[in-house]
Amino acid sequence: MARPPARELTERELEVMHVFWDRGESSVADVRDALAAKGLDRAYTTIATLVRILTDKEFLIQTNNERPFSYRPARSYEDVSRKLLRELIDRVFRGSREQLLVRLMEQRKLTARERALLRDALNRREDRS
């Protein structure tokens, strides 16, 4: 019996999704060119396969019916990153956000900009409470 398709994103699929999140609606050739510009030289057929998989997984939506096909993200970066972070916290840190924060702080000293962003996020959170 075949295993059901994975719903999570692989590293390569995530590379492709970042292009769509940055650029919006794009063709396979556009995505390939954008990745190549970042030093990630991938074959056109590889990108086409990844786009098909992402469409099957409902991360992308095809927007036209004529060639070249165009696609756009079906899910926002914010939604996907939230879900991936929740999964990371659950799987690696056994649900402990505290442990995640401790590990982040152990990695390196926060920059002034990072501290300011963290303060702003905490203040916004407190204002909503």
Q: How many residues are recorded in the chain?
A: 129
102 domain residue, yes or no: yes
Beta bridge partners of 19: none
> Is there a single domain that holds both residue 98 and residue 47?
no
* Digit-coded pLDDT (tens) for 12-24: 999 999 999 999 9
12 contacts 5 by C-beta, under 8 angstroms: no
Q: What contacts 10, CB < 8 A, 6 or more positions away?
A: none
17 lies in a domain?
yes
Residue 98: per-residue pLDDT? 92
The reply to whether 1 falls in a domain is no
Strand order in the sheet with 60-62: 26-27, 70-73, 60-62
Q: Is 59 exposed, middle or buried (0-12, 13-18, 19+ CB in 10 A)?
A: buried
> Residue 70 is encoded by which pair of tokens?
């165009």
15 and 57 inside one domain: yes
pLDDT at 7: 73
Distance of alpha carbon 121 from alpha carbon 115, whole angstroms: 10
Structural domain ending residue among the three candidates 43, 73, 103:
73
Confidence of residue 8 (pLDDT cuts 50, 70, 90): confident
> Is there a domain that residue 45 lies in?
yes
Residue 98 shares a structural domain with residue 52: no
Range of the domain at 59: 11-73
Closest by CA to 104, choosing from 123, 122, 85, is 85
Q: Are residues 16 and 66 in the same domain?
A: yes
pTM above 0.85, yes or no: no
